[in-house]
């Protein structure tokens, strides 16, 4: 990709898509990023946009404090590892076993946190919800027997994740088959080379101010903010073999 091509693409992309490209190719934006290779992507909608399902205070803290801390920590960890700064987030996650012991766990937790949240913001939006669309709808029908059965499986994964973690939908490379998976803390299936279609954050910080101990209510309400068009664009990109976080 030449510089002209990069510039053209940078002008075309907006919001979450920009965040995605920035996160995948961090060296492209070194000049803006300041202290390190990664930067906090802007929220693609106002903090209050997902009310009443996700409240503005939670969004503000979640994006501006929690996600920012993951980004700052990754940059700090990579400060004295110039050779690793040239790798994309995806490459770093896949090559964690080769990363020096001293920063491996820190990178796993914080870079995991960065990619998970970047994905998370990009698949939600105001006035969304409803039913899956496009190829994603067909795949959900094929692999789960319908949207209701899929939601049940996904919610059960989120509810059953003891402590902090995520519920994910992964895509099997080649076949495009979807599967539900839970992961602790900020682990992601990307660490095992499995593309992530979508995911919901079940750390208590994602829902405690509004739902307190009622994680099941949060999981149910979350479907009202899922941007299925965005999810379907991710599915198409993954099927094309694009490396997305």
List contacts with another protein (CB under 8 A).
61, 65-66, 69, 105, 109, 162-165, 184-186, 203-205, 208-209, 212-213
Q: Does residue 194 come out as left (phi exceeding 0), alpha (psi in the -120 to 50 range) or beta? A: beta
Q: Which two tokens stand for residue 110?
A: 């914080």
Tell me how far, at minimum, the Cβ of 211 lies from another protein, in Å.
11
Whether cis (ω within 30° of 0) applies to the bond prior to 52 is yes
Tell me how far, at minimum, the Cβ of 186 lies from another protein, in Å.
8
Tell me how far, at minimum, the Cβ of 51 lies from another protein, in Å.
18
What distance lies between CA 84 and its chain's CA centroid?
21
Tell me how far, at minimum, the Cβ of 183 lies from another protein, in Å.
11
Buried b (16+ CB within 10 A) or exposed e, 157-173: bbeebeeebbbbbbbee
Rounded to a whole number of angstroms, the distance between the first and last alpha carbons of the chain is: 19
Whose Cβ is closer to another protein: residue 58's or residue 170's?
Answer: 58
Whose Cβ is closer to another protein: residue 147's or residue 208's?
Answer: 208
Tell me how far, at minimum, the Cβ of 39 lies from another protein, in Å.
19
Tell me how far, at minimum, the Cβ of 165 lies from another protein, in Å.
7
Do β-strands 165-171 and 178-184 pair in parallel, antiparallel, or remain unpaired? antiparallel
Whose Cβ is closer to another protein: residue 176's or residue 189's?
Answer: 189
205 burial level (CB within 10 Å; 0-12, 13-18, 19+): middle
Tell me how far, at minimum, the Cβ of 160 lies from another protein, in Å.
9
Whose Cβ is closer to another protein: residue 69's or residue 156's?
Answer: 69
- E strand segments, the chain: 165-171, 178-184, 196-201
Q: Which two tokens stand for residue 147?
A: 């949207």
In angstroms, the Cα distances linking 134 to 98, 148, 203 are: 39, 17, 30
Whose Cβ is closer to another protein: residue 110's or residue 136's?
Answer: 110
Contacts of 220 (CB under 8 A, 6+ apart): 155
Whose Cβ is closer to another protein: residue 185's or residue 224's?
Answer: 185
Whose Cβ is closer to another protein: residue 125's or residue 165's?
Answer: 165
């Amino acid at each position: 990709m030449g510089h002209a091509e990069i510039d053209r693409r940078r002008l075309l992309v907006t919001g979450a898509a920009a965040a995605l490209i920035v996160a995948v190719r961090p060296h492209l934006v070194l000049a803006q990023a300041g202290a390190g290779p990664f930067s906090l992507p802007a929220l693609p909608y106002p903090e209050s946009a997902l009310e009443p399902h996700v409240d503005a205070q939670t969004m503000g803290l979640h994006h501006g404090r929690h996600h920012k801390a993951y980004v700052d920590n990754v940059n700090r960890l990579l400060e004295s590892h110039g050779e690793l700064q040239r790798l994309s987030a995806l490459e770093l996650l896949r090559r964690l076993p080769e990363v020096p012991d001293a920063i491996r766990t820190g990178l796993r937790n914080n870079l995991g946190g960065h990619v998970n949240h970047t994905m998370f913001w990009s698949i939600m939006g105001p006035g969304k919800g409803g039913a899956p669309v496009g190829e994603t709808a067909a795949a959900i029908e094929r692999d789960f027997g319908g949207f209701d059965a899929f939601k049940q499986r996904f919610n059960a994964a989120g509810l059953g994740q003891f402590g902090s973690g995520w519920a994910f939908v992964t895509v099997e490379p080649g076949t495009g088959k979807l599967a539900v998976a839970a992961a602790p803390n900020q682990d992601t299936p990307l660490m095992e080379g499995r593309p992530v279609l979508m995911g919901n954050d079940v750390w208590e910080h994602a829902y405690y101010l509004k739902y307190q101990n009622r994680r099941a209510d949060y999981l149910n309400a979350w479907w009202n903010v899922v941007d299925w068009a965005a999810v379907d664009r991710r599915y198409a990109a993954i099927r094309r073999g694009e490396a997305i976080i």
